[in-house]
Amino acid sequence: MQIHLLTMAPFIIINSLTAIVTVLFFQDGLLFSAFFLLSHNMMCIGDFAISGYVGGTGGRVYTFDEPDRKMSYFYRKV
C-alpha cells in the first residue's frame, strides 16, 4: 500500500542514513547519534499510528487535508 510506504519512508531513510554515516565517519559521535535516533523514533509514533489505523481498516481509508486550517480528516469506507 502507498500509505505504508509514505508513512515509513522517513523512519527507514533517516535511521539508515544516520547509522551508515555514524559507523563509517563519526564513531566518536555515537552518543549524539543514539540521542538523535531516539528523538527521531519517538517523533515517528504518529506515522506508525496512521499506518496501523489504515492497516486495521483493510485499506479502506480516505484522507482529506485542509492546509489553511492545519486539519486532516480520515474517512473510513464501510
∠ Cα 23 30 36 (to 5°): 105
DSSP helix/strand/coil, 24: helix
Give pLDDT, residue 15: 94
What is the b/e burial string over 36-47, where b = at least 16 CB atoms within 10 angstroms of the residue's CB?
eeeeeeeebeeb
Predicted pLDDT at 50: 85
Q: Where are the beta strands (DSSP E) in the chain?
A: 61-66, 71-76
- Confidence at residue 38, expressed as pLDDT on a 0 to 100 scale: 94
Residue identified by cell 489505523 is 53
Look at residue 76 in the predicted model and tell me its pLDDT: 76
pLDDT (tens, 9 = 90+) of the chain, 78 residues, equals 688 888 899 999 999 999 999 999 888 888 999 999 999 999 999 889 888 888 887 777 788 899 999 998 888 777
